[in-house]
Each structure stands twice: as C-alpha cells, then as structure tokens.
Chains A and B, each alone.
Chain A
C-alpha cells in the first residue's frame, strides 16, 4: 500500500498505487437545487452508449430521489453499513476509507449486487407506503417532507476503486484528463471492479461478458465538447470542465471557482476515500445537517449558505459561475464578470458565452388593442 493525499479528507490515506495525478482532471458540478428529475440525462446517455444487447439494465447516468431512491437497490446504505462509523474532526476525516476497511485478502470493502438489485431503478420514488384506508392519509410519500433528485454518473475518481481492484490492470486513468476507462480488450469479466466501486458505476455486460462504464463521452471531450448527459440537461444543473488540485487553483476556471474558491461543489460520500470528481451543490431545503454531512461531507452547510448568498444577489461572481451551466456545448475554460454580464471562453480562446446575470424584466399592459385581447403573461 502507498500513502496518498486525499484533499477531500484533508489527510493521507492508504491506496495500492502511488499518487500520480493527471495533467488536468475532467470534472463536473451538479446543482441539486435545479434538478427536476426529468431523466433527460439518463436517456441522453442510454440512447448513445448503452442501447445494445447485454446493456439492458445499465444506466451509466441515473437520477435517484433521495433520501430513499437508489440504483442499484440501496447501494449507498449497504456500502455505508459495511464501512462502519464515519467520523470527521473538523474538515479531517478520522474514520476509515473503503480501502482502509478492507477485510483480509481483499483490497476494499465490497457490496456485491445481484441482477435483481439493478431491476428497480430509483425504487422509492413516488410510492405510497401507507395504506390508503388509514384515516387522515390520502397519499403519502415514503420520503420525509423533503426530497431531492441526485443525478449520478461515474465520478472518474482520483483514487478509483474499480481501477485498483482489477487484478489485471485492465482499467486505467488517462494521464491527459483523468478519465477512467476499461480496456475492453484486456478485461476478462472477473468483476472485481463492480464489487469494488462503492458508487456502483461500473457494469457487467450480459452479452460481451466483460465490464463497461461511463466513458465521460471522451470522443466529445477530446474535441472540446461537453459530455452528452451534461449538454442535454433540461434543468441546466450541470457544469462540466477541468478541475485543478487545491494548490493550483485558477479562479477564472468556473469548476475551480465552484469547488475550490466558493466551495459550493461538494463530493458525494467523500468518506469512501476515492476523491470523486463529480461535485454537488447540496439541496438548500433539506433540514437535516447530519444527512447532508453524510452525503456531502462536513462542508455541506457552509456550501448552502454561500449558495444562498448568490441567489440573494450578494455574490455576483458565484451567480455568474452557476449561470454558465449548460449555456454552451463547448467546454468552458475561463469566465469573467463584466457588470451585469458573464462571459466565457473555450480552450482555443473563442468566446462561447455572453449573457446577462439578470434578465431585464419588461412589463406589458394587459390589454392589447391591436388584437383586442387581454393577456395574462405580461412580464
């Protein structure tokens, strides 16, 4: 085992390979407050990458309703149970990662789903769990009074569990952008990877009998275009780009700005220890700080407060960075705020976004004398 630094845990940890970071890391920030659960992202990926025979149950992108929804069934609850207590001391994680908690003879803890666990994507969503004959209740959701949507893709982790689990070194992390890929020629379908990934984002193909996973749409990324599930997001919740390490932050890089500068983007279950590279803006309406901390680490509450400031017009830079989400198909490398306008440029230096932070409101009189009608939509 090697000692590697995991900035999300604020400490070193055990990992089978030395710390070797990519030149730049492809990453994304998802604003859970804007996700409407439309599953357009799920279908964008499904129709592009996993419509083949043998991939029926695969959702490289899925959206689950938290706290109950999950795919595969109860994946996070089962992994957390195996992991045991997860304590933080301030920003430092003092519990064990999935690698440090490995039983003898294994490299990590591992929940091993069966095919049935994949059979109910997002079970727990919109279900009645109280008999309708019970007085007082007409309809009740299994969730508490709040819920939110959690879209998930492979995290292209810095310390990928799938990669370290594979005894054949069939999984690799690209030095140029940190995208984690399966070598389809070398994989022999041992499935140690699907056991190892705590996020359950690597899948076994029934027909080809080897493993497959989200490829971060690398053919698009190589051309400076955002991945398919990102650029098709209806709720415009997804910001995609390249993330620097905390010591090399570039403030005009929107992803760096959201994750490292304003710290509103938080990793999902950082305590697993993988340093995942999909970041989430926690939902502002969830009233359980314990729950938020469990999902997004100790900085979740502070992230919500920063986010609220932007929404209240107290942080135009943050508002600008958030507005860039799905504003262009191009991958944004740089942004700047000029008055009421946010501008952004791609890697070649071409301006790809210029839009107002606040769209001017125009009010029309309700009565249109030309058409002799009254309008309801007057703003």
Chain B
C-alpha cells in the first residue's frame, strides 16, 4: 500500500484536492438495521474453489441480496440493470467461499473492443459487524478487502487469452514492426514477451494485472481505503470460477481466512464481520463505479 499512497499523493500536488466525493457518500449511506439480515457462513469439510455446482453448496442457506443504484461516487449508475444477487457462504477452517448467482440475459466476457465491458461480481469484506460506514470501499482508517470475479478473466482462463482474433477474425495487418518475424495474424502478447519487447505493450510492461498474459485465477484480490483507492493486492490467492446458467451467472469466489497482505481482513471463525456485494453488467457498460451495489452492507456471521 505505501507505494500507491505515495503515488496518489504526488499526483494531488497538481490535481488539487478532490472536491466532494467521500464525505457526501458517507452521509447518503443507509445503515444495515434489519435484524437477521446477515450472511451465514456455514462450515463444510472443504470449500470447492473451482466448482460452482459442487454439492457442498447445498449445506448453505441462500440469501437474496437486493441491489440498487450506485449514487454515491461519480460516475454513478442510477439505472441498475440487476435487481438482486443470491448469496451463499461456506468455510472449511482454512478458506472462505461465496457463491453468487444473478440474472443477466446477455453474457459479456470480452474486453477487447473499446465498447466491450465485462460482467463481474464482487464481495467486499471489512471489520466490524455490518459497519455501514465501510460501504464506501472501506475508509481511510479501515481498509476493505475486495474480491472481484471478472467474466473476461474467466474466458481467458477457459479458452486462452482473448485477443483481436476473438472479435476481428478477418483482420488484415501488414506487419507489427517490433515482432516482424511473426506472421501478423499470429502476433499476440506472447510474441512480445518472446522478443523481450514488452515496452510496446505498456500495461503489460509495468505489470498491470489487467494486461497480464497468463492468469491463474479469475478473481482479483484488492485492498481499498475508500473510493478511488482500490489497489490490486500483492498476494493473489483468491480463487474462483464462474459459469453461465440459463438466465445469468453462477460464480464462486474464495480466499484464505487468514490475511496475507497489509489491509486484508483476516476472518476468524465464530466471529462477525462486514460484507457487501456488487454486480456489473457489461451489456449496459457497467465498469468501476458504474455498478449495481447491494443496497446495504450485511453482517458476515462466520460459523465455528
């Protein structure tokens, strides 16, 4: 975290202080008051990390979490296209797992074209018992752990990294100068890696996880200290898998109960913490703060 904080504050020298944003957001946040609204994390013998249809999920009761508009941080999503997500949670003493299911008629699992936006879902974990103040992606003093499953990362994993051929099968390119040895229609990220020329793919060159050629998980673990601060965690040990259902997506997200990174929430058995959920629909250009968040945070009741 320190490196990122340093960068952000360096930029603020020229950008000045952001006006508005955080303080209004806190005031607009409805407290999670209703009794029994918590998510119960049932103990099972093993959390199946990569099978959304595993029988282990039968042990857990589902909770329908209502989703609403994102009207706190700009840009907003005032017309959310997904109204609810069905949530289940289990743990095995080592890992915690969530299964999220929602309806979305259109599958969006590519981010190649400028107007391709991904479907995604995320779990927010933070300390406290349903602390409503942390709905704003944590706070300056209390970080939130974010676990986001991304449909395009899933497709990369299932079918190999998706490139131009996925959307422009009939493209015609004269040459890519830096990797001119490779026939142009065969050039991909690996060509630049093999040529030691990744500076021509700047995102990849600086290690941006969104540009990565090789993935081991469709779930990104990130830490946030409030809006605008979400940063990929150094240790990527969250796992999961998402599959299409007849009406939408069924997605499993897991992480160790313990914390590996600064700011990450360590979850103890037989305790209560805070959780929240969000879903993104690529078909309406959801991305970042344009999303369908849970209308409130929930207590995460972790069983013994």
**Chain A residues in contact with chain B, CB under 8 A?**
1-2, 16-20, 22, 47, 51-54, 56, 104-107, 112-115, 118, 163, 165, 167-169, 172-175, 183-192, 194, 203-210, 212
- Chain B positions 138-195 with a Cβ under 8 Å from a chain A Cβ: 152, 163-164, 171, 173, 176-179, 187-189, 191-192
- In the complex, B211 has a CB within 8 A of chain A: yes
- Chain B positions 185-217 with a Cβ under 8 Å from a chain A Cβ: 187-189, 191-192, 200-208, 210-211
CB pair A205 B203 closer than 8 Å:
yes
CB pair B14 A53 closer than 8 Å:
no
Task: Given A17-B17, A53-B164, decide whether A115 and B74 contact each other with a Cβ distance below 8 A.
Answer: no
What's the nearest-Cβ distance from chain B to residue A230, in Å? 22
Provide the residues of chain B in CB contact with A56, threshold 8 Å: 164, 171, 173
CB pair A187 B203 closer than 8 Å:
yes
Closest chain B residue to A110, Cβ basis: B75
Give which listed residue, B18, B188, B207, contacts A185 with CB less than 8 A. B207
CB pair A20 B7 closer than 8 Å:
no
Main secondary structure of the interface of A (DSSP, over half): loop
9 contacts across the A-B interface (CB closer than 8 A)? A20-B16, A22-B14, A52-B176, A53-B176, A104-B76, A106-B75, A115-B114, A169-B18, A207-B163
Bound CA–CA A212/B204 (angstroms): 12
Provide the residues of chain A in CB contact with B207, threshold 8 Å: 185
Task: Given A107-B75, A206-B164, A210-B210, decide whether A53 and B201 contact each other with a Cβ distance below 8 A.
Answer: yes
Bound CA–CA A54/B11 (angstroms): 28
Task: Given A184-B203, A206-B163, decide whether A169 and B114 contact each other with a Cβ distance below 8 A.
Answer: no
CB-CB nearest 9 A-B residue pairs = A18-B16, A208-B203, A105-B76, A190-B288, A52-B200, A208-B211, A172-B11, A204-B114, A210-B203
Provide the residues of chain A in CB contact with B76, threshold 8 Å: 104-106
Provide the residues of chain A in CB contact with B230, threshold 8 Å: 168, 188
Bound CA–CA A47/B290 (angstroms): 36
Provide the residues of chain B in CB contact with A210, threshold 8 Å: 203, 208, 210-211
CB pair B203 A209 closer than 8 Å:
yes
- In the complex, B112 has a CB within 8 A of chain A: yes
Instruction: State which size class the interface on B falls in.
Output: 35 or more
Closest chain B residue to A23, Cβ basis: B14
Provide the residues of chain B in CB contact with A105, threshold 8 Å: 71, 74-78
Task: Given A1-B19, A168-B288, decide whether A53 and B227 contact each other with a Cβ distance below 8 A.
Answer: no
Provide the residues of chain A in CB contact with B59, threshold 8 Å: none
- Chain B positions 1-42 with a Cβ under 8 Å from a chain A Cβ: 4, 7-8, 10-20
What's the nearest-Cβ distance from chain A to residue B6, in Å? 12
Bound CA–CA A83/B154 (angstroms): 39
Provide the residues of chain B in CB contact with A190, threshold 8 Å: 287-290
Provide the residues of chain A in CB contact with B20, threshold 8 Å: 1, 16
Provide the residues of chain A in CB contact with B210, threshold 8 Å: 187-189, 208-210
- Chain B positions 248-294 with a Cβ under 8 Å from a chain A Cβ: 285, 287-290
- In the complex, B113 has a CB within 8 A of chain A: yes
CB pair A173 B14 closer than 8 Å:
yes
Closest chain A residue to B211, Cβ basis: A208
CB pair B13 A20 closer than 8 Å:
yes
- In the complex, B228 has a CB within 8 A of chain A: yes
CB pair B19 A20 closer than 8 Å:
no
Provide the residues of chain A in CB contact with B227, threshold 8 Å: 167
CB pair A189 B111 closer than 8 Å:
yes
CB pair A206 B112 closer than 8 Å:
yes
- In the complex, B73 has a CB within 8 A of chain A: yes
Provide the residues of chain B in CB contact with A17, threshold 8 Å: 15-19
Task: Given A53-B192, A192-B288, decide whether A206 and B113 contact each other with a Cβ distance below 8 A.
Answer: yes
